[in-house]
Structure 1
Amino acid sequence: MRNCSFNRYRQTYLASRYIFTATVIVMLCLPGCAPGKKAVSVATGPVHHIVLKLSPGPDNPRNSEGSFVTLKDGRILFIYSRYTGNNSGDHSPAYLAGRYSADGGKTWTAQDAKIIDQEGGLNVMSVSLLRLKNGTIALFYLRKNSTVDCIPVVRFSNDEAKTWTAPVDCITDQKGYFVLNNDRVIQLPDGRLMLAVARHSSLADPKWQNKGALFAYYSDDNGKTWKAGKEVPTPAGVITQEPGLTALKDGRVMMYIRASGGAQYVSYSANRGATWSAALPFNLQSPLSPATIERIPSTGDLLAVWNNNDGSNIAIKGKRTPLTVAISKDEGRSWIHIRNLETDPDGWYCYIAIHFYKKDILLAYCAGSQQAKTHLSVTDISRIALTDVYKL
């Protein structure tokens, strides 16, 4: 549980009101809203409860980028990147650790369980957990050997995460530094597994490129072998990074993309990831920060979690705050029930994992401080009633 003094709560509350709104409900226009259109209501308020805070400590400078899975005995497992040593950078030592909840995410085990040891030359990090249609649990993560050798791998468990198979490389057709964000692997209704990556360097061109080349990889044999689709066409002059995937009801797959220019970008595939449309600005304004979009099983609607920050407020321009949720009933064409969950102007909210459990949503996200320079070092897990998300 979060342990905050009244004074700390009051300071954060007052700062949030000063930066974001003078009332509980504010009116603003979502990205993509044409001039003259009616503004969209955005609610602010503590509808979520922080049930676990993973803060840094001795020999543990950072905890980040995790994912959830519900086990057959009803427990929820959260696996995340647990860094060791004194440095919290992306290339610092890390292994995969786990925490368990036996009450739907209300409380969590106090001690870490080591899930996967550090097997890369640098680290292992950025977890995606997925219950496959055949009942197997798939554990995806990045195995990072160097700045030109980082690829996603997958392990499988047939005994509810007690043991794991040897890792399978998801990228074998090219060598380079590929980023797969946490909680980003999907399985289509026909069983195809898909993941989206950004390549930032390669053996042929080892210089780091801030603009990533985007690819989707897919598997039709439950993750044993993988193939690449064509590179996503992206506009010159726009930084593209950290893509994610969502299956749409019309059979297309939507790739949403962290991008510069003030908004998320989006591309679509009508052939299950083989080719992609040219990436264009999407209707979620944000800084250069990742979003996450997943389908709510009980309603069929889409849930987006992102930094709803268009840069118009100079105090937070380019910052990963606030943390906002919204619902789409029309496959991402528009967004309603928009609510700021976290509004601290000093906060740094990103790398979201979403998990639906009965009538609740569990969110895990980095929640560090800009002033304390703990941006990605702290992970919070919040529990939200689904009905509260739909209230506005």
Structure 2
Amino acid sequence: MRNLKKKGGLLIGLLLITLGSYAQILSGKYTVLDIRSGENNPRNSEGDFITLKDGRIMFVYSKYTGSSGSDFAPADLAARYSSDGGKTWTQTDKILVRNEAKMNIMSVSLLRLGKDKIALFYARKNAVDDCIPIMRISTDEGQTWGEPKVCIDDQKGYFVVNNSRVRQLKTGRILIPVSMHKTPDTKWNNRGTLRCYYSDDKGITWKSGSAVPNPDSVITQEPGVTELKDGSILMNIRANGGYQYYSYSKDQGVTWTAIVPSKIPSPISPASMARIPSTGDLLLVWNNNGAKGEGYFKGKRTPLTLAISKDEGLSWKYLKNIEDDPEGMFCYTAIHFVKDYVLLGYGMGAGLAQSRVVRIRLNEIYK
């Protein structure tokens, strides 16, 4: 009898695994890495990808230490690696940069600068009025990193830069989109002042662009930038108006048009955007749940949805949910293309304690 129960339990387990695998096949999404929290590791926060010269993919994220997963708790920068296009990943962490701040280091962006250099950007958080982006350079494919360089030195304050947000334009200019919420002399303001800091010499020196005009009372936060085909820059903005907001620059991120609502319904949550190399279309990843959302989803950072734009962000189609747990939280997505696939890395769970990587065949997104 006991053996029958064991066999029955095994069959049920196998059935659940089979059904789960079949559901992934139908959605086109495969979860390839879950970096879960544990003892003395209360949170593994969102990060970014880069492909190394030897073909491996490196995913760098913030590994929290101690007992708290707060945005202000201690964290190092850690890496995992894939040698097969993102199908499988190493299961142990390699610490790249130890916490050098009074609070933490987080919100990683990775850029390849020429053939032999990789730039690592992250936020160094010392206080609620002292958080600035830092850049380090590696000349040995991420094995070691040079000295930290401050990217904002014209003023002090709390500058938010999301993970996977730093971009290099076709001209070589590097843009860091920031939202400034407090200075040592001002009170905290949820309505951030948005702008880009830019460098034309591969990060040696940085200049400040103009603030993005916000004539309304809309709360604006966590900007991202995308270079459009005509050379202009699109800024997508987390906002409280029920939609992602847009602003445009015609001078490579120095000045910007006044913000306007897009056609992307969204809660107060960030959206990520990238151009698909093989098609030239834009891929959007966000919480498809704006002010008019209904039921359980209203106002929450779920579902996590993909969409395609063939007209440079004016409209979106082929909507596809990749996470739809009504009790879940999914956001801060990094996008990385590998041949016929895309890798998405994002934070999830209560307090964003877990970091997940999924692998999706591109042609599934267009169905």
| Interval of TM-score (by shorter of Structure 1 and Structure 2) | over 0.9
> Which of residues 215, 218, 221 is equivalent to 2:198?
218
Q: 2:209 aligns with which of 211, 219, 229?
A: 229
Q: Does 1:60 align with 2:41?
A: yes
Report how far residue 236 of structure 1 moved.
3.3
* Counterparts of 1:251 and 1:270, CA distance in 2: 7
Distance 1:335 1:152 in 2: 32
Looking at structure 2, the residues matched to 88 and 117 of structure 1 have their Cα atoms a distance apart, in angstroms, of 17
Q: Which residue in 2 is equivalent to 1:355?
A: 336
Q: How far has the Cα of 1:375 moved from its partner?
A: 3.4
Matched, 1:143 2:99: no
1:312 CA drift (Å):
2.7
1:384 aligned to 2:365? no
- Residue equivalent to 2:281: 301
* 1:47 CA displacement: 1.5
Q: What is the rounded CA distance, in whole Å, between the counterparts of 1:88 and 1:292 in structure 2?
A: 23
The amino acid that maps onto 1:314 is G
Matched residue, 1:30: none
**Structure 2 residue aligned with 1:290, among 262, 266, 270?**
270
C-alpha distance in 2 between matches for 1:8 and 1:364: 25
Match 2:59 to one of 66, 75, 78: 78
Instruction: Read off the aligned partner of 1:128 and give its amino acid letter.
Output: S
- CA separation in 1, counterparts of 2:196 and 2:154? 13
* 1:133–1:191 Cα contact (<8 Å) kept: no
CA distance in structure 2 between the partners assigned to 1:6 and 1:315 by the alignment: 31
Secondary structure in structure 2 of the residue aligned to 1:375: helix
Q: How far off is 1:331 after superposition? A: 0.5
Q: Does 1:194 align with 2:175?
A: yes
Q: 1:96 to 1:330 in 2, by over 3 A?
A: same
Query: Percent identity over the alignment?
Result: 55
Compare 67-76 and 337-346 and name the one that shifted more.
337-346
Shift in Å, 1:9:
8.4
1:5, CA displacement in angstroms? 6.3
Shift of 1:7: 9.4
Give the Cα–Cα distance (whole angstroms) in 1 for the partners of residues 122 and 84 of structure 2. Answer: 26
**Contact 2:239–2:268, Cα closer than 8 Å, also in 1:** yes
**Residue-by-residue CA offset, 1:253-309 (whole Å, 9 max, x unaligned):** 011000001100010000111100001101110100000011111111110000111
Which is worse superposed, 305-314 or 164-173? 305-314
- Find the aligned partners of 2:363 and 2:18 in 1 and give their Cα distance: 27
Task: For residues 162-208 of structure 1, give each alpha carbon's deviation from its aligned partner in whole angstroms, at most 9, with x where no partner exists.
Answer: 11111111111110000000001111101000010000100121x22
Please state if 1:124 is matched with 2:102. Answer: no
Q: Distance in 2 between matches of 1:263 and 1:61?
A: 32
Instruction: Give the TM-score of the pair, scaled to structure 1.
Output: 0.87
For the 8 Å contact 2:198–2:208, the answer to whether it is kept is: yes
1:244 aligns with 2:189: no
Q: What is the identity, as a one-letter code, of the residue corresponding to 1:269?
A: S
Q: How does 1:1-392 map to 2 (within 5 A)?
A: 46-205=27-186, 207-310=187-290, 311-368=292-349, 374-391=350-367
Q: Work out whether residues 227 and 234 of structure 2, in 8 Å CA contact, stay in contact via their aligned partners in 1.
A: yes
Distance 1:224 1:185 in 2: 15
Deviation at 1:6, TM superposition (A): 7.7
Amino acid corresponding to residue 180 of structure 2 in structure 1: R
**CA distance in structure 2 between the aligned counterparts of 1:10 and 1:340, rounded to whole angstroms:** 21
CA shift digits 1:69-119 (9 cap, x unpaired): 000000000000111111111000000000011111111111000000000
State the distance in 1 between where 2:298 and 2:233 align: 31
Give the secondary-structure state (helix, strand or coil) at the position aligned to 2:247: strand
- Matched letter for residue 362 of structure 2: L
Worse-superposed segment, 267-276 or 227-236: 227-236
Counterpart of 1:16 in structure 2 is none
Runs ≥4 in structure 1, deviation > 3 angstroms?
4-12
SS in 1 for 2:351: coil
Cα distance, 1:236–1:161 mapped onto 2, change above 3 Å: same
Instruction: Select between 179-188 and 231-240 the one with higher mean Cα deviation.
Output: 231-240
- C-alpha distance in 2 between matches for 1:321 and 1:105: 24
Q: Letter of the aligned partner of 1:384 in structure 2?
A: I
Q: Distance in 1 between matches of 2:253 and 2:17?
A: 46
Q: CA deviation at 1:132?
A: 2.0
Alpha carbons 1:150, 1:178 under 8 Å: kept? yes
Q: Is the 8 A contact 2:236 2:244 kept in 1?
A: yes
Offset of residue 133 of structure 1: 3.5
Please say which of residues 312-321 and 251-260 is displaced more in the overlay.
Answer: 312-321
Deviations 1:101-159, CA, capped at 9 Å, x for gaps: 11111111110000000001111001001112354111000011111100001111111
More helix by share: 2
C-alpha deviation, 1:11, in angstroms = 12
1:10 Cα offset (Å): 11
TM superposition shift of 1:46: 2.5
The aligned amino acid for 1:210 is N
